[in-house]
């Protein structure tokens, strides 16, 4: 794995940064479609299905640069990274043809729903259940905090089927079209200034054809994790981009703003925390690149640990960078005009989703350090 970024990747960063900075960001859908035309949205999807044939390394780099330009696309975490990955790796030929070229060219988008009101971080406790009716599936359950369901053509829903031998429930993935009868959504009133909204979903006997099941009914967990590692890497990239954006605004301000004899940036009480934020974002990026490379190299297990650590590091670095950026601007940090205060809540998302800081610390305690479990 190259520790120093290749010239090709540097050039890609520059191209994305220029594109994202110059795009009139008001219309998120248009930004998505223009990014797709340039090959940015489907860069990780197989070439045979209209994608760029590259990996999560490139997809995460693109998302980070969009974020650093102040124009991130949250649904990139979900549509190409989770859903695109799962369908390319485990989908049927029909599913691949139906979805991958459209996800890549931006004409269709997918959301992803795993979180449930009574399960939360404990996804072993999810109760959305699929039962067979002839060759059809009938899906029943509830989901919460699912992003972008209104703009996505379908949601990849994590459900469970009953194991015929043990009677236990095993996870599996279903493509649920937005307009499927019985599939209802209610927008959650989030304190977030973001183009993508969150929804509570009700699945009330949603009837789905046999081909809605993605992958093997018996290997659902494995397939699910194939999508969750890219999700963590992408969330890390999202957080690093946001942190860089906030930090750049603060540095710009601190260079100019003078209330004594010299600009406030010359006071170490202002300069050092900004320098620290920069270092921590760089460190988080290094871990994110490691996780992306491991994933792209086919090492799902190695990528699992690295992706968790990257998400943790990036979430923490982002929250600190945003906090210090807001502080650096004094009163202006809380005005709408300077646009930093809205990042306070946005940054917190990277600490909570898709897996919280504590659940990552639990994972590292048990999986990496071999400590006993309390729950």
Ligand X SMILES: Cc1cc2nc3c(=O)[nH]c(=O)nc-3n(C[C@H](O)[C@H](O)[C@H](O)COP(=O)(O)OP(=O)(O)OC[C@H]3O[C@@H](n4cnc5c(N)ncnc54)[C@H](O)[C@@H]3O)c2cc1C
Binding site for ligand X (CB under 6 A): 78, 112-115, 120-121, 145-147, 192, 198, 349, 352-356, 358-359, 362, 375
Asked if residue 236 lies in contact with residue 284, where contact means CB atoms within 8 angstroms, the answer is: yes
Radius of gyration, CA atoms only, the chain: 21
Compare residues 276 and 365 and give the one whose CB is closer to ligand X: 365
Compare residues 177 and 263 and give the one whose CB is closer to ligand X: 177
Q: Where in the chain does DSSP place strands (E)?
A: 110-113, 129-133, 136-147, 154-162, 169-177, 183-187, 198-208, 213-214
**What whole-number distance in Å separates Cα of residue 271 and Cα of residue 100?**
46
Assign residue 80 a region: left if phi > 0, alpha if psi is -120 to 50, beta otherwise? alpha
Compare residues 199 and 253 and give the one whose CB is closer to ligand X: 199
Compare residues 145 and 295 and give the one whose CB is closer to ligand X: 145
CB of 81 to ligand X, least distance (A): 11
CB of 117 to ligand X, least distance (A): 8
Find the distance separating the first CA and the last CA of the chain, reported in whole Å.
Answer: 36
Residue whose CB is nearest to ligand X in the complex, by number: 120
State both tokens at 113: 């729903």
CB of 181 to ligand X, least distance (A): 22
State both tokens at 56: 């999560």
Place of tokens 């050092």: 272
Compare residues 295 and 312 and give the one whose CB is closer to ligand X: 312
Task: In the chain, count H helices and then E strands.
Answer: 10, 8
CB of 75 to ligand X, least distance (A): 9
CB of 57 to ligand X, least distance (A): 23
DSSP annotation string for 216-251? -TTSHHHHHHHHHHHHHHHHHHHHHHHHHHHHHHHH
**What whole-number distance in Å separates Cα of residue 349 and Cα of residue 11?**
30
Question: What separation in angstroms does the CA of 258 have from each of 139, 255, 263, 375?
Answer: 61, 8, 4, 53
CB of 197 to ligand X, least distance (A): 9
Name the DSSP class of 80.
I
Compare residues 252 and 358 and give the one whose CB is closer to ligand X: 358
Compare residues 68 and 83 and give the one whose CB is closer to ligand X: 83
CB of 186 to ligand X, least distance (A): 15
List, in order, residues 6 or more apart from 167 with CB less than 8 Å away: none
Question: β-strands 129-133, 110-113: how paired?
Answer: unpaired
CB of 287 to ligand X, least distance (A): 20
Compare residues 104 and 349 and give the one whose CB is closer to ligand X: 349
């Amino acid at each position: 794995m190259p520790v120093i970024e290749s010239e090709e990747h540097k050039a890609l960063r520059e191209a994305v940064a220029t594109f994202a900075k110059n795009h009139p960001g008001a219309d998120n859908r248009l930004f998505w479609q223009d990014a797709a035309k340039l090959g940015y949205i489907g860069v990780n999807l197989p070439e045979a299905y209209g994608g760029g044939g590259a990996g999560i390394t490139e997809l995460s780099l693109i998302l980070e640069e969009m974020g650093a330009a102040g124009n991130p696309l949250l649904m990139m975490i979900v549509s190409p990274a989770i859903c695109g990955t799962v369908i390319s790796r485990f989908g049927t030929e029909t599913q691949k043809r139906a979805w991958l070229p459209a996800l890549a060219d931006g004409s269709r988008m997918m959301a992803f729903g795993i979180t449930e009101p009574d399960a939360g971080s404990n996804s072993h406790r999810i109760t959305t259940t699929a039962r067979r009716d002839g060759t059809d599936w009938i899906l029943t359950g509830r989901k919460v905090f699912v992003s972008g369901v209104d703009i996505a053509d379908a949601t990849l829903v994590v459900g469970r089927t009953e194991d015929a031998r043990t009677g236990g429930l095993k996870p599996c993935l279903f493509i649920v079209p937005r307009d499927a009868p019985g599939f209802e959504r209610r927008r959650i009133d989030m304190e977030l200034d973001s183009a993508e909204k969150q929804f509570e979903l009700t699945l009330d006997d949603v009837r789905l054809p046999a081909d809605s099941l993605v992958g093997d009914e018996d290997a659902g967990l494995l397939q699910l994790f194939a999508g969750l590692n890219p999700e963590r890497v992408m969330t890390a990239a999202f957080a690093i981009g946001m942190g860089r954006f906030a930090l750049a605004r603060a540095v710009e301000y601190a260079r100019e703003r003078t209330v004594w004899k010299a600009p406030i940036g010359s006071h170490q009480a202002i300069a050092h925390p900004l320098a620290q934020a920069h270092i921590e974002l760089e460190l988080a990026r290094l871990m994110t690149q490691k996780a992306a490379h491991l994933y792209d190299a086919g090492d799902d297990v190695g990528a699992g640990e690295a992706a968790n650590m990257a998400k943790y590091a990036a979430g923490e670095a982002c929250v600190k960078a945003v906090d210090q950026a807001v502080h650096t601007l004094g009163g202006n940090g809380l005005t709408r005009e300077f646009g930093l205060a809205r990042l306070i809540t946005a940054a917190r998302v990277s600490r909570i989703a898709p897996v919280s800081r504590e659940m990552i610390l639990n994972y590292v305690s048990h999986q990496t350090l071999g400590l006993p479990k309390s729950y």
